[in-house]
Protein backbone atom coordinates (compact mmCIF):
# COMPACT_ATOMS: atom_id res chain seq x y z
CA UNK A 1 0.00 0.00 0.00
CA UNK A 2 1.20 3.50 -0.91
CA UNK A 3 2.24 5.62 2.10
CA UNK A 4 0.63 9.08 2.42
CA UNK A 5 3.03 12.00 2.01
CA UNK A 6 1.69 15.41 3.14
CA UNK A 7 1.93 18.08 0.43
CA UNK A 8 3.87 21.32 0.67
CA UNK A 9 2.24 24.73 0.39
CA UNK A 10 3.72 25.11 -3.09
CA UNK A 11 2.19 21.80 -4.24
CA UNK A 12 -1.21 22.83 -2.91
CA UNK A 13 -0.98 26.27 -4.55
CA UNK A 14 0.03 24.69 -7.85
CA UNK A 15 -2.91 22.25 -7.77
CA UNK A 16 -5.42 24.97 -6.79
CA UNK A 17 -4.16 27.26 -9.59
CA UNK A 18 -4.17 24.42 -12.14
CA UNK A 19 -7.76 23.40 -11.34
CA UNK A 20 -8.94 27.02 -10.70
CA UNK A 21 -10.37 26.14 -7.29
CA UNK A 22 -11.58 28.59 -4.65
CA UNK A 23 -9.64 27.21 -1.69
CA UNK A 24 -7.18 29.11 0.50
CA UNK A 25 -4.12 26.83 0.23
CA UNK A 26 -2.47 28.15 3.38
CA UNK A 27 -5.62 27.60 5.48
CA UNK A 28 -6.10 24.11 3.97
CA UNK A 29 -2.53 23.14 4.87
CA UNK A 30 -2.73 24.57 8.39
CA UNK A 31 -6.10 22.88 9.00
CA UNK A 32 -4.85 19.39 8.14
CA UNK A 33 -1.42 19.82 9.72
CA UNK A 34 -3.11 20.85 12.98
CA UNK A 35 -5.28 17.72 12.79
CA UNK A 36 -2.26 15.52 12.00
CA UNK A 37 -3.74 14.84 8.52
CA UNK A 38 -7.03 13.41 9.81
CA UNK A 39 -10.41 14.57 8.51
CA UNK A 40 -13.34 15.84 10.60
CA UNK A 41 -14.45 12.25 11.31
CA UNK A 42 -11.00 11.25 12.59
CA UNK A 43 -10.11 9.19 9.53
CA UNK A 44 -6.57 9.56 8.16
CA UNK A 45 -6.32 11.51 4.91
CA UNK A 46 -5.35 9.22 2.03
CA UNK A 47 -5.64 11.64 -0.89
CA UNK A 48 -5.19 15.39 -0.26
CA UNK A 49 -6.26 16.30 -3.80
CA UNK A 50 -9.62 14.65 -3.21
CA UNK A 51 -9.99 16.65 0.02
CA UNK A 52 -9.31 19.90 -1.84
CA UNK A 53 -11.98 19.06 -4.42
CA UNK A 54 -14.45 18.36 -1.61
CA UNK A 55 -13.59 21.66 0.08
CA UNK A 56 -14.03 23.47 -3.27
CA UNK A 57 -17.49 21.96 -3.80
CA UNK A 58 -18.53 22.91 -0.25
CA UNK A 59 -17.24 26.45 -0.78
CA UNK A 60 -19.35 26.83 -3.92
CA UNK A 61 -22.43 25.30 -2.28
CA UNK A 62 -22.14 27.81 0.58
CA UNK A 63 -21.79 30.74 -1.81
CA UNK A 64 -18.17 31.30 -0.89
CA UNK A 65 -16.71 31.46 -4.40
CA UNK A 66 -15.02 34.81 -5.09
CA UNK A 67 -13.25 36.44 -8.02
CA UNK A 68 -9.75 37.87 -7.91
CA UNK A 69 -9.91 41.64 -7.37
CA UNK A 70 -6.51 42.36 -8.92
CA UNK A 71 -6.39 45.15 -11.50
CA UNK A 72 -9.45 46.67 -13.11
CA UNK A 73 -12.80 44.95 -12.59
CA UNK A 74 -12.98 41.65 -14.43
CA UNK A 75 -9.37 41.66 -15.65
CA UNK A 76 -8.50 38.47 -13.78
CA UNK A 77 -10.89 35.56 -14.28
CA UNK A 78 -9.34 33.30 -11.63
CA UNK A 79 -11.13 32.53 -8.36
CA UNK A 80 -10.02 34.60 -5.40
CA UNK A 81 -8.72 32.55 -2.50
CA UNK A 82 -6.70 34.97 -0.32
CA UNK A 83 -8.68 37.63 1.58
CA UNK A 84 -6.88 40.99 1.24
CA UNK A 85 -9.25 43.54 2.76
CA UNK A 86 -12.50 45.30 1.92
CA UNK A 87 -13.67 47.66 -0.79
CA UNK A 88 -15.17 51.12 -0.11
CA UNK A 89 -18.61 49.55 0.48
CA UNK A 90 -17.27 47.02 2.99
CA UNK A 91 -17.38 43.97 0.69
CA UNK A 92 -14.44 41.57 1.05
CA UNK A 93 -11.74 41.56 -1.61
CA UNK A 94 -9.83 38.42 -2.62
CA UNK A 95 -6.76 37.62 -4.69
CA UNK A 96 -6.00 34.51 -6.72
CA UNK A 97 -2.85 32.39 -6.43
CA UNK A 98 -1.22 34.30 -9.30
CA UNK A 99 -1.79 37.66 -7.57
CA UNK A 100 -1.46 36.51 -3.96
CA UNK A 101 -0.54 39.23 -1.47
CA UNK A 102 3.03 39.51 -0.29
CA UNK A 103 3.35 39.06 3.44
CA UNK A 104 5.12 41.89 5.23
CA UNK A 105 8.24 40.79 7.10
CA UNK A 106 8.07 40.94 10.87
CA UNK A 107 11.05 42.31 12.75
CA UNK A 108 12.39 40.02 15.46
CA UNK A 109 11.66 41.30 18.98
CA UNK A 110 15.33 41.75 19.83
CA UNK A 111 15.71 44.17 16.89
CA UNK A 112 12.74 46.29 17.93
CA UNK A 113 13.97 46.46 21.53
CA UNK A 114 17.24 47.98 20.33
CA UNK A 115 15.42 50.59 18.26
CA UNK A 116 12.99 51.92 20.87
CA UNK A 117 13.19 52.32 24.61
CA UNK A 118 10.34 50.68 26.54
CA UNK A 119 9.43 52.57 29.70
CA UNK A 120 8.37 50.66 32.87
CA UNK A 121 4.61 50.95 32.23
CA UNK A 122 5.03 49.01 28.96
CA UNK A 123 4.63 51.92 26.54
CA UNK A 124 7.33 53.03 24.14
CA UNK A 125 8.76 56.50 24.70
CA UNK A 126 9.58 57.40 21.10
CA UNK A 127 9.87 61.15 21.59
CA UNK A 128 12.30 60.88 24.50
CA UNK A 129 14.53 58.48 22.57
CA UNK A 130 14.41 60.69 19.47
CA UNK A 131 15.30 63.79 21.48
CA UNK A 132 18.31 62.01 23.02
CA UNK A 133 19.52 60.99 19.57
CA UNK A 134 19.10 64.56 18.26
CA UNK A 135 21.11 65.97 21.19
CA UNK A 136 23.91 63.50 20.51
CA UNK A 137 23.96 64.48 16.83
CA UNK A 138 23.98 68.23 17.64
CA UNK A 139 26.85 67.68 20.07
CA UNK A 140 28.91 65.96 17.37
CA UNK A 141 28.29 68.75 14.85
CA UNK A 142 29.51 71.55 17.15
The mean pLDDT value for 111-122 works out to 55
The predicted structure's pLDDT at residue 135: 76
Between 13 and 112, the higher pLDDT residue: 13
Give every CB contact of residue 142 below 8 A, 6+ residues apart in sequence.
Answer: none
Q: Which of 52, 32, 50 is nearest to 42 (CA)?
A: 32
Q: Considering the chain, what is the average pLDDT of its residues?
A: 78
Specify the pTM: 0.57
Query: Domain coordinates of the chain in residue numbers?
Result: 9-95, 109-141
- Vertex 47: Cα angle to 23 and 52 (nearest 5): 10
77 touches 67 (CB < 8 A): yes
Percentage with pLDDT > 70 across the chain: 75
pLDDT per position as a tens digit, 34-63: 999 998 889 999 999 999 999 988 888 877
Amino acid sequence: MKRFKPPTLEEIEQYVAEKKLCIDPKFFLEFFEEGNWHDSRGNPVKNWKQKILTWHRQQIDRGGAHRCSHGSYGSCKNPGVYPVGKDRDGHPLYRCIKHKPIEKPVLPKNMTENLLKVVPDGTIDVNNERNKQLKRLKGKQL
